[in-house]
A = this chain, B = another copy of it.
Amino acid sequence: MPNGSYACGIGPAFEVVGGKWKAVILWELREGPLRFGEFRRRIGGLSEKVLIQQLRELEADQLVTRQVFHQVPPRVEYALTDWGHALNVALGPIADWGEAYARATGRWGDLPS
C-alpha cells in the first residue's frame, strides 16, 4: 500500500494494519508480550518469513517493541507500544463485528465459542 494523503483516518490506519496478518498479530499481544515462537504456535497458517516481516514493519511503525534477551537459545519478546495498545482497543469493535459476521455468514469455519 503506497503512501499518499488521506481525507480521513481510515487510510493511515489501514496502511499500518492492513494486509492479511498485522491486525491478527497485534491482537494476539493484547494480554501481554509474546515471543517469536509463541506467535507461530498461536497463529495457524502464518509462516516464519511473513511473521518476521510483519513484526519488523509493526516495529518500524511504532506499534510494537522488540526486546532481545541475550541468552542461548535466544529469547526475543514483542510487546505493544502505547500506539499499538490504543489501536488494539480500537480494534475491539472490529473483532466483535467480525465474529458476529463470521457466525452469521458461516463462511470461515467455526470460531471458538
A99 to chain B, nearest CB (A): 3
Q: A94-B10, A94-B94, A98-B8 are in contact. Are A18 and B16 (CB under 8 A)?
A: no
Query: Any chain B CB within 8 A of the CB of A96?
Result: yes
**Which segment of A31-39, A50-58, A104-112 sits at the interface?**
A104-112
Q: A5-B109, A10-B27, A18-B19 are in contact. Are A90 and B83 (CB under 8 A)?
A: no
Query: Any chain B CB within 8 A of the CB of A45?
Result: yes
Query: Any chain B CB within 8 A of the CB of A29?
Result: no
Q: For A86, list chain B residues within 8 Å (CB).
A: 97, 100
A13:B90 contact, CB within 8 angstroms: no
Among B91, B107, B109, contact of A10 (Cβ-Cβ < 8 Å): B91
